[in-house]
Structure 1
Amino acid sequence: MKQHTVIDSPYGALTLVAEDGVLCGLYMTDQRHRPPEESFGAADDGPFAQAEEQLRAYFDGDLKEFTLDLCLNGTPFQRTVWDQLRRIPYGETRTYGELADALGNPAASRAVGLANGRNPIGIIVPCHRVIGASGSLTGYGGGLERKQRLLDFERGAAGSALF
């Protein structure tokens, strides 16, 4: 059974989705590849206390690594990419090519990019930490402005609490 709630954040409203009580989605307003609202299930704050607490701590600058149970629904390749995303340290970035290398398939950078774009749990699974080979910001389901703001925040450019 799916449930959802909407919370405020410094980056706009975030829709959290749980399946059988486990977080399976975090979507931003106007996010590319955002599923239809009717697929989010009933509105219910119940399963989201821990996710909200950790997100608040992250936005306050007090949490660098999320420890939530996640249900990542995707292909085996997508789940492998999303696992690699979770290994990128707070405040750091990796290129699509570096992720492909880490997966043992240097020629897969385009496939890595496609999987990255389908990440269903933004921020917590930090797809915003992936950049182009030249160091440029390339694609982000939540928009390049949000991506830049998240990277700046993690690098310490945002000095005080935001949430």
Structure 2
Amino acid sequence: MLAIENTVLLVIDFQGNLAQAMADRDSLFENARKMIRGMEVFGIPLIVTEQIPAKLGPTIPEIAGLFRGVTPIAKESFSCCQNSLFRETLQQTGRRQILLTGIETHICVYQTALDLLAAGYAVSIVADAVSSRTARNREIGLQMIRDAGGKLTCTEAVLFELLKTAASDKFKEIFSIVK
């Protein structure tokens, strides 16, 4: 069960033309925005990465516009965990439950999930907030992550799992995000 005080959201490589080439991109972007907005309601930290931003460009405005005081971490490795600044940033949160959103599911998201699982983190892939250039590669990536021990979930499941009850003082805010 996800716990607000133990969760962090990773937002992986929503950049430039690559982001625009994703399968079902409108739904992908909308669910990523819901996740980011929901984490803000709960006070859950975000860690954002960009794959070689000098070549792929910055995070797309429709996602980056939601970051509050978060600076993306530039990386060259496909796994975020191969980047020392990423590892330090994650360690500083003190959190062990990781929610993954981003692109591409079968490359950067997958390799990051494997490294996080190997390091003992509980990894949940927000399946409707990850994608690849083809739907088939996305599905293969999700299957590989699940086979490695990652949990598959979806945007609304995450937000309501963190909320726990309709009696929460955050219910109206979360409901307004998902409707």
Judge same fold: TM > 0.5, yes or no: no
Q: Which has the higher contact order (CA 8 A, sep 6+)?
A: 2
User: Aligning the two structures, in what range does the TM-score lie when normalised by the shorter sequence?
Assistant: 0.3 to 0.5
Relative to the length of structure 1, the TM-score reads 0.33
Instruction: Name the structure with the higher strand share.
Output: 2
Relative to the length of structure 2, the TM-score reads 0.31
